[in-house]
Amino acid sequence: MDITFFYLFLLVHPYLAMWWKSFEQAERKQWEALVPGYNYFIAFKLGAQKPWWSLLLIFPGVHIVMWSVVNLSYIRRFGYFSLIDTVQGIFFPYIIMYKISQSGDKILPETNWANSKEIAEREWGDHLALFLALPVIGHVIALGIGAVSRPKPGKKTKVKEWGDSIWFALVAALVIRTYVFEPFKIPTGSMENTLLVGDFLFVNKVAYGPKVPVTPVSYPLVHNTVPWINVKSYVGLETSEYTRIPGYSDVNRYDVVVFNYPAGDTSIYDPRMPNGLMGHNYHDYVNSEALRLWEEQSTEWNQAMRKINQLRINNTLTASQDSSIRNKALESYFVNIENWRQNARELIASGYTMQNTYNGPELIEHKGVIFRPVDKRENYIKRCVGLPGDYLELKNSQLYVNGKKAPIFPNQLLKYETSAQLSNQSEAWEKYGIDTYNFNQYMPIPKDGRPYVLVNQKGLAKLKRDQADRDSVYFNLYRSPPYEDNMDSIPPLVKLQNMRFFPNDPNICNTVTDFKKFRIPKKGATVTLTKENIAYYRRIITTHEGHSLKENNNGTFMIDGKKTNKYTFAMNYYWMMGDNRFNSTDARMWGFVPEDHIVGKASMVWYSSGPSGVRWDRIFMGIK
């Protein structure tokens, strides 16, 4: 149901509840019940004795809570306190509202908390209200305090007192969290050393303008999963279109931004996993499952593996032979890749997928596939390095924006092949801030045989000074094997590599260090679609902007059933990358971030803790 219908329902509700009759019983004028907006002001004044609470009805995500609050507090002023009455007041108040309007009863004074009979009448209703505000924990607090303190005659019970306090705090926190700022914890090292695992941030939502919730019917103060029980925190009974309240700033180039994961529209749900997800990127799972199914069932692949194993046993296998045999077998996979992908989707939808376990790869059962609306996709944090309309290119780890070199930020970690020598990891970290390294006789050499360090510019400069007395010491930016455009054909093994990087197309060669020049889509801009560039725009057209797309074999396209080779973007898009460029799952893997996924600007670290305790130097640190 669109959120607009609920606001229309709010206008109609006073008439369904027959307030024009019961208002007179409360010694108010009949006409006050008929004036939209003002009628809620009076109802809140009569029930909760807080008429200004009526203003909270305008906030999506808060409006449903406040609708229940006004109804429950209103019926209680007419003597409906029991558990059943409370359930009706919260969820469906019309039977009781009708009884009130027909009874002619006058509004009652507030509960006499010195009267044990009145307290007993409302006891279980108050328990339910407290439970809905803060399940179990609210009761532990209220009953615990009640057990060690002496009740004062004429005062509210602890259950009622804490219920009121928690509901007020809950509503206030919900408004602040949704529309002003939200706390966020850094879960991974993709932004190191700018942000560290264990940093707690404030995300400023006012900067770019807060988003109106797309799914406002959700459990308060959690994101998409209720902690501990790992169930969805939201329901799709009410939805809204993307709407953003104006902020005081646009997203600026090089801002650190929190956003909803753009590839998280579909997820594999498994409550045994953290956050109830088996990985964040369903589309990656489809590709990996498709390849696995083909390897299991392909005669060509099984023959190729037997041949490779035999050559390995004979000690005659060379690297070029290995690649050649695998490439030849993989040709049949790419001829029918869409069929294998469809098989993978069907397998995952049936509740099974492959996982690496302690016993090796195993086919395990999960809970199926779920769709996640935009505002309930996982929160990610990266640096915005590209704005709508920018041209971006990545060459040998150096990012170019509109033809100019992008700055390398002070804490940005880059990967350097090196002949430097260090004695141990402690020295590497403490002296130079080297996050990950693999070099010299003290450390194992990586599989590709190239020793390397991951270090920021300050640490690199110091390392170079300290190693200056060594002959021929070198520091070269690491580069993934470049794939040239002038290849006669792209080998299947390279196609597998291409599918890891945006636009995740077998025939477009991008790597972690090198990206072909492309333009970030801008709202209102029109692009000519071709079979060469459609991979960049497929998800924008279908997933992000909601159109149907059919690609014909002759290179023509059908959008929403109409033949066309043009497309005009409805939203702005951004390019996000982590400062820890070689340990960051970012736009190089999943592409553009739509404007409706932007959550807010990371503004300040308010707390930080690591393996050795509190990082005092990072508390209240601004983020640049």
What whole-number distance in Å separates Cα of residue 35 and Cα of residue 155? 36
Q: What is the pLDDT of residue 442?
A: 40
DSSP state of 406: P
Extents of the domains making up the chain: 3-179, 282-371
Cβ(498)–Cβ(507) below 8 Å: yes
Mean pLDDT of 110-139: 77
Q: What is the pLDDT of residue 487?
A: 65
What whole-number distance in Å separates Cα of residue 167 and Cα of residue 133? 6
Query: pLDDT of 371-402, one tens digit each?
Result: 889 998 889 999 999 999 999 999 989 999 99
Cβ(600)–Cβ(205) below 8 Å: yes
Query: pLDDT of 162-207, one tens digit each?
Result: 777 777 878 888 888 889 999 988 888 889 888 888 999 999 999 9
Q: How confident is the model at residue 447 (pLDDT cuts 50, 70, 90)?
A: very low
User: Taking 60 as the threshold, does the pLDDT of residue 218 lie above it?
Assistant: yes
Q: How confident is the model at residue 440 (pLDDT cuts 50, 70, 90)?
A: very low
Percent of the chain scored above 90 by pLDDT? 49
Mean pLDDT of 537-541: 96
Backbone angles phi, psi at 416, to 5 degrees: -125, 130
Cβ(263)–Cβ(597) below 8 Å: no
Highest mean pLDDT among 151-160, 428-437, 543-552: 543-552
Q: What pTM, to 2 d.p., does this model score?
A: 0.85
Q: What share of the chain is helix, strand, coil (3-state, %, to 5)?
A: 40, 20, 40
Tokens of 567: 């497309």
Cβ(17)–Cβ(33) below 8 Å: no
What whole-number distance in Å separates Cα of residue 610 and Cα of residue 197? 7
Q: What is the pLDDT of residue 445?
A: 43
Q: What is the pLDDT of residue 426?
A: 67
Q: Outline where DSSP puts E strands in 439-523.
A: 452-455, 475-477, 515-519
Higher pLDDT residue, 425 or 178? 178
Mean pLDDT of the chain: 86
Query: pLDDT of 45-78, one tens digit each?
Result: 999 888 999 999 988 878 888 999 999 999 999 9
- Alpha helices (H) along 104-218: 116-133, 137-148, 158-179
Backbone angles phi, psi at 319, to 5 degrees: -60, -40
